[in-house]
């Protein structure tokens, strides 16, 4: 069925009123605490509620959801513009989406929403928007970044069209999966006059507070994954945020690769073989040449037989930027996926990684690394790239003095 | 591809050693805290870690995962026995599964697992096992509960075979989706010589600490869902735990209904219409006749026009046990699902509820309520039952004095 935005908005004539009433009622309920006059809820212990008031600032020089600590739940949605969508339509969509995302991430009720109760506790919700090539072709052809094109197809790629490039992307992350689902629902509905959903990539990482502080999370191969990420602001400035020209400064690029991981065969390996394939220990992710997770690997070290301790074909060795190309670094923000096994496949699993990478320029950062891995990487035996897309991620927005900016404004208005 | 358990076990000859080593290394790492000698992780703030040591006791008079507070992540897996599986095979499977589930839920490494790091923080992991009719037919035909048969098909049902009855079920719940995925992975692999996965129903509820304490969660219609659940032990004794005979005492039944919810059309309603359909306010789930969420509804109250305040056809009114059938209550433990829209359907959503109900006897508790709802329930316009299955849930186990019990032992050994 199709639902028109007119009807949706008509139905929400009383939304603002309902929203305020809802918010007020909830506040009084919160203040009243456990002062219920009838049967009390059973769950009245003193467990902490660390997510109760967890809000990630929506506005800022960069969009949130990039240097934000990885939340537990991901809905990455690829949208295609409807046929009639022209430049002005894209601008209208961006106005609506930005305003609604700003409200949702702040725990407020977007205009036209009849569900204020679903938006109360964002749990670190971030909504990050990216533009595919076609948005520029339609609305700002002269401003398309030169790197905004398909990642070249690699020898080992088995790309499926259903996980391919789209015109727009929303990366919706929250530590509460209910909030994440609701934000996906709201944003999809808010955009329905302009876009259709092409795919949704749903993933997860560790829950807030589930693993020790500062511990780099693991993927479903059991590997500590994300050690070489930028942490400090200067590293983000170097690797991620585009500097110029004005209006584009603060933007970045998002590359998403859907990587199927063959758990069934991976798990036949003993631990030593798994560690050799990666070049790091499974225990804590430290290089096989010693030190802790963040120690520099010693690529020259050999064992008592004169063999390299870290295999030159290991994932770590191949992914490392060569000495003359220190720019080959980027921010990895991967999520696991774990779907039911395909019926009839005989497989026990259907799992992998939604590998999201942010960098200034995929052509000089992501692509050379992936080309090297595609050529040789011992992990390749168990991994297959099945989806690929690239987006420009507009700079962050400002809502100062009531002049609310929208995503991509500097480019769309130019 | 198929992986034999022999190979799997052969590969894990060093598992026990690796596991202890891993556990030791991890402990020392935990104790060492932030004493890293190289680049420190960025995420070193003082946020609480409430899930770090959250463990739900596996053994006890009842299986965990029934009266346990609902965790954030659900993997409900329906398995069918392989053709050659006879009574002794089922017993072997139960021995393996129970021992492995006990280890996983305790944060220990199951025998044969090479991934001790994945099992360290269970985050309230529970694994609950249920037997379909066929397990009794094969292994204990004389002991099959009389209620263990398909729920009668109702007029409005649109049941899909792919969500139908299976021989066994595992309900895997954790507050950490990574732990949940890993437990699903491990249990599937551990059972692969005996069972095939028929379906996996994946769902979610609010993250731990995401909504205020004691607040009943909401489904994706925005409704407070679960108000009438048993809370006190006496209520569970009355509604859920089977009392006799010995060996069966402490068991219960699990009914799972997959209920598609048409969000696209639901959201066309204004708030008043949504509340009338349910009989409760959206704001806090209180009956439309006043009081708080747990207040008794006044079914006789009328408004200034003499019309009932709570529609007799509302969901609440129809679901309520009639005065002469107070036994028509049960424990609801529902999870939301929110999948990508079906390509080409034109729908904006593909969402609903994995409705899990625990009761002594579906024939006298679940079924009469559902029959009444099927006949008339204003919510029916937006909900469709598309899957159904029923299981006997064996009593809890004991591991005292080293004599580890396994699921269904009293029945399988009788």
Residues of B within 8 A of A26 (CB-CB) are 283-284
B207 vs A72, A114, A268: nearest CB: A72
Instruction: Report the interhelical angle of A87-105 vs A177-190 (nearest 10°).
Output: 150
pLDDT of residue B49: 80
Interface test mutation site (partner A, options B208, B228, B342, B349, max chain A beta carbons within 10 A):
B208
Cβ-based contacts of A179 with chain B (< 8 Å)? 210
Which of B47, B177, B269, B274 has the most A C-beta neighbours within 10 Å, making it the best mutation to test the interface with A?
B177
Biggest CA-to-CA distance, chain B: 77
What is the pLDDT averaged over residues B14-27? 35
Residue of A218, A194, A409 lying closest to B117 (CA atoms): A218
Closest residue on chain A to B51 (Cα): A210
How far lies A21's CA from each of A117, A283, A354, B279, in Å?
A: 10, 52, 40, 19
Distance CA A277, CA A312 (A): 10
The number of CA neighbours under 13 Å toward the Cβ of B175 is 26
Rounded CA-CA distance A171/A129 in Å is: 6
Question: Does the beta-carbon distance from A340 to B267 stay under 8 Å?
Answer: no
pLDDT at B52: 81
CB contact under 8 A, A270 and B44: no
Distance CA B328, CA B316 (A): 13
Which of the residue ranges A166-175, B14-23, B119-128, B395-404 would you say has the lowest mean pLDDT?
B14-23
* Dihedral sign (CA A317, A323, A325, A326): positive
- Distance CA(B383)–CA(B153), nearest Å, equals 16
Residue boundaries of the structural domains of chain B = 51-413
Q: A227 Cβ partners below 8 Å, 6+ apart?
A: A216, A280, A285, A293, A294
CA distance B180 to B208: 14
- Residue B255: which residues within 8 A CB-CB, separation 6 or more? B151, B356, B357, B358, B359, B362, B366, B388, B389, B390
> Which pLDDT score is estimated for B6?
36
State percent of chain B over pLDDT 70: 88
Tell me the shortest Cα–Cα distance from A281 to chain B, in angstroms: 10
| pLDDT, chain A, mean | 89
Q: Which of A52-56, B21-25, B358-362 has the lowest mean pLDDT?
A: B21-25
Measured in angstroms, the CA of B148 and the nearest CA of chain A are apart by 26
Q: How confident is the model at residue B291 (pLDDT cuts 50, 70, 90)?
A: very high
Give the integer Cα–Cα distance in Å for B362 and B367: 6
Distance separating alpha carbons of residues B315 and B322, to the nearest angstrom = 14
Residue A221 CA to its chain's centroid (Å): 20
Decide if pLDDT at A189 tops 90: yes
Residues from chain A that touch B184, judged by Cβ atoms under 8 A, are 338
* Contacts of range A399-406, beta carbons closer than 8 Å, 24 or more positions apart: A399/A58, A399/A59, A399/A102, A404/A98, A404/A99, A404/A102, A405/A59, A405/A98, A406/A91, A406/A94, A406/A95, A406/A97, A406/A98, A406/A99
Task: Indicate whether A285 pLDDT > 80.
Answer: yes
Q: Which residues face B78 on adjacent strands?
A: B169, B199
Residue B245, preceding peptide bond in cis (omega within 30° of 0): yes
Check CB contact under 8 Å for A41 and B216.
yes
Query: B289: which chain A residues are within 8 Å (Cβ-Cβ)?
Result: none
Is residue B397's pLDDT more than 50?
Answer: yes
Three-class SS of chain A: CCCCHHHHHHCCCCHHHHHHHHHHHHHHHHHHCCCCCCCCCCCCCCCCCCCCCCCCCCCCCCCCCCCCCCCCEEEEEEEEECCCCCHHHHHHHHHHHHHHHHHHHCCCCCCCCCCHHHHCCCCCCEEEEEECHHHHHHHCHHHCCCCCCCCCCCCCCCCCHHHCCCCEEEEEEECCHHHHHHHHHHHHHHCCCCEEEEEEEEEECCCCCCCCCCCCCECCCCCECCCCCCCCHHHHHHHCCCCCCCCCCCCEEEEEEEEEECHHHHCCCCHHHHHHHHCECCCCCCECCCCCCCCCCCCCCECCCCCECCCCCCHHHHHCCCCCCCCCCCEECCEEEEECCCCCCCCCCEEEEEEEEEECCCCCCHHHHHHHHHHCCHHHHHEEEEEEEEEEECCCCCCHHHCCCCCCHHHHCC
B387: helix, strand or coil? strand
User: Which pLDDT score is estimated for A52?
Assistant: 81
Percent of chain A with pLDDT over 70: 88
Minimal Cβ distance to A52: which of B205, B209, B265? B209
- Assess contact for A231 and A194: CB atoms under 8 A: no
Q: Which residues of A are catalytic?
A: 225
pTM: 0.90
Q: Which residue of B has its CA nearest to A269?
A: B11
Contact assessment for residue A120 and residue A26, using Cβ atoms and an 8 Å cutoff: yes
Which residues from B are below 8 Å from A18, CB to CB? 271
Nearest residue, CB atoms, B348 vs list A14, A188, A211: A188
| Chain A nearest-CA residue for B190 | A348
State the pLDDT confidence band at A38, using cuts at 50, 70 and 90: very low
Active site residues of B: 225
Distant-in-sequence, close-in-space partners of B346: CB < 8 Å, separation ≥ 6: A1, A2
Cross-chain residue pair A347–B1, CB shorter than 8 Å: yes
Helix (H) or strand (E) holding B257: strand B252-261
What mean pLDDT comes out for the span B105-114?
A: 94
Instruction: Give the integer Cα–Cα distance in Å for A72 and B196.
Output: 29
Q: In the beta sheet, which residues pair with residue B354?
A: B258, B335
Report in angstroms the alpha-carbon separations of A291 from A288, A296, B31.
Answer: 8, 8, 17
Q: Output B414 or B16, whichever has higher pLDDT.
A: B414
Give the sign of the dihedral formed by CA B271, CA B272, CA B275, CA B281.
Answer: positive
Name the 3-class secondary structure at B22. helix
Taking all residues of chain B, what is their mean pLDDT, rounded to a whole number?
A: 89
Mean pLDDT of A137-147: 95
**Are A360 and A392 contacting, i.e. CB atoms less than 8 angstroms apart?**
no
CB pairs under 8 A between A and B: 312
Candidate from B18, B214, B264 with C-beta closest to A1 = B264
pLDDT bucket at A267, cuts 50 / 70 / 90: very high
Interchain contact, A292 vs B340, CB within 8 Å: no
What is the nearest CA distance from B34 to chain A, expressed in angstroms? Answer: 8
pLDDT of the residue at B46: 59
- Residue B368, min C-alpha distance to chain A (Å): 25
Tokens standing for residue B257:
């209904």
CA–CA separation, B107 vs B22, rounded Å? 13
List chain A residues with CB under 8 Å of B192. 348
| pLDDT of res. B53 | 85
Query: How many Cβ atoms are within 10 Å of B311's Cβ, its own excluded?
Result: 18
Tell me, what's the pLDDT at B343? 84
CB contact under 8 A, A26 and B179: no
Query: Do B211 and A121 count as a contact with CB atoms less than 8 A apart?
Result: yes
CB atoms within 10 A of CB B113: 24
And the tokens for B30?
A: 């935990």
What are the backbone dihedrals phi and psi of residue A236, each rounded to the nearest 5 degrees, phi first?
-65, -40
Task: Name the β-bridge partners of A78.
Answer: A169, A199
The whole-number average pLDDT for the span B225-241 is: 95
Of A306-310, B29-33, B214-218, least confident by mean pLDDT is: B29-33
Nearest by CB to B3, from A22, A212, A348: name it.
A348
- pLDDT confidence of residue A182: 97
pLDDT band at B47 (very low <50, low <70, confident <90, very high): low
The reply to whether residue B178 touches residue A210, judged by beta carbons under 8 angstroms, is: yes
Mean pLDDT lowest among A50-54, B296-300, B354-358: A50-54
Closest CA to A408 of A17, A120, A16, A138: A138
**In angstroms, rounded to a whole number, what is the distance separating the alpha carbons of residues B141 and A298?**
64
Calculate how close chain B gets to A401, using CA atoms only, in Å.
Answer: 32
Closest partner CB to A189 (pick from B12, B220, B348): B348
* Lookup: tokens for B226: 């679960």
* ipTM metric: 0.89
Convert the pLDDT of each residue in B118-155 to its tens digit. 999 999 999 999 999 999 999 999 999 999 999 999 99
- The whole-angstrom separation of Cα A89 and Cα A134 is 13
Question: Which of A271, A284, A339, A384 to probe by mutation at the B interface, max B CB count within 10 Å?
Answer: A271
SS3 label, residue B70: coil
Enumerate the H helices of B192-302 as residue ranges. Answer: 233-239, 263-266, 271-278
Q: Is A116 exposed, middle or buried (0-12, 13-18, 19+ CB in 10 A)?
A: buried
- Per-residue pLDDT, averaged over A8-33, amounts to 35
CA atoms within 13 A on the CB side of A258: 24
What is the per-residue pLDDT for A46? Answer: 59
B329 has pLDDT over 90: yes
Cα distances (Å, whole numbers) of residue A83 to A148, A149, A194: 21, 21, 9
Name the residue among B65, B70, B57, B62 with its Cα closest to residue B169: B65
- Chain A interface, best mutation among B207, B331, B344, by max A CB count within 10 A: B207
Instruction: Measure CA A84 to chain center.
Output: 29
Cβ-defined contact of B185 to A220 (cutoff 8 Å)? yes
CB A58 within 8 A of CB A105: yes
Is B123's CB within 8 Å of A210's CB? Answer: yes
Q: How far is A198 from chain B (nearest CA, A)?
A: 7
Q: Which of B49, B52, B283 sits opposite A25 (nearest CB)?
A: B283
Q: What pLDDT sits at residue A400? A: 77
Residue whose C-alpha is closest to residue A254's, from A368, A162, A133: A133
Dihedral sign from CA coordinates of A357, A53, B225, B276: negative
Query: From the CB of residue B74, how many other CB atoms can be counted at a distance below 10 Å?
Result: 26
Q: Which residues of B touch A282 (CB under 8 A)?
A: 22, 115, 117
């Amino acid at each position: 069925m199709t639902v028109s935005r007119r009807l949706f908005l008509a139905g929400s004539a009383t939304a603002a009123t309902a929203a305020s009433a809802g918010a007020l009622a909830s506040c009084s309920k919160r203040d009243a605490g456990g002062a219920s006059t009838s049967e009390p809820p059973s769950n009245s212990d003193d467990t902490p509620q660390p997510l109760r008031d967890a809000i990630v600032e929506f506005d800022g020089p960069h969009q949130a959801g990039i240097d934000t600590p990885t939340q537990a739940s991901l809905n990455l949605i690829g949208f295609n513009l409807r046929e009639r969508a022209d430049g002005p339509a894209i601008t209208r969509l961006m106005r609506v989406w930005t305003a609604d995302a700003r409200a949702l991430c702040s725990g407020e009720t977007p205009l036209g929403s009849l569900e204020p109760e679903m938006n109360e506790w964002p749990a670190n919700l971030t909504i990050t928007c990216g533009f595919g090539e076609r948005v520029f072709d339609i609305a700002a052809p002269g401003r398309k970044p030169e790197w905004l094109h398909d990642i070249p197809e690699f020898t080992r790629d088995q790309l499926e069209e259903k996980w391919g490039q789209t015109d727009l992307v929303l990366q919706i992350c929250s530590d509460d999966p209910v909030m994440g689902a609701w934000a996906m629902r709201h944003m999809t509905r808010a955009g329905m006059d302009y876009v259709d959903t092409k795919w949704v990539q749903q993933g997860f990482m560790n829950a807030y507070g589930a693993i020790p502080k500062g511990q780099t999370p693991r993927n479903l191969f059991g590997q500590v994954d994300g050690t070489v990420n930028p942490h400090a602001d200067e590293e983000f400035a170097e690797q991620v945020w585009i500097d110029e020209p004005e209006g584009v400064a603060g933007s970045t690029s998002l590359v998403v690769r859907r990587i199927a991981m063959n758990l069934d065969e991976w798990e036949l390996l003993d631990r030593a073989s798994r560690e050799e394939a990666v070049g790091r220990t499974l225990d804590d992710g430290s290089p096989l040449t010693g030190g802790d997770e963040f120690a520099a690997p010693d690529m020259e070290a050999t064992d008592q037989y004169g063999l390299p301790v870290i295999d030159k074909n290991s994932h770590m060795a191949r992914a490392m930027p060569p000495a003359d190309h220190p720019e080959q670094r980027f921010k990895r923000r991967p999520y696991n996926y774990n779907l039911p096994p395909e019926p009839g496949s005989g497989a026990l699993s259907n799992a992998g990684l939604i590998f999201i990478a942010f960098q200034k320029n995929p052509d000089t950062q992501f692509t050379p690394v992936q080309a090297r891995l595609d050529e040789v990487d011992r992990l390749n035996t168990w991994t297959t790239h099945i989806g690929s897309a690239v987006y420009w991620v507009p700079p962050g927005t400002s809502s100062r003095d009531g002049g609310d900016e929208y995503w991509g404004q500097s480019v769309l208005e130019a």
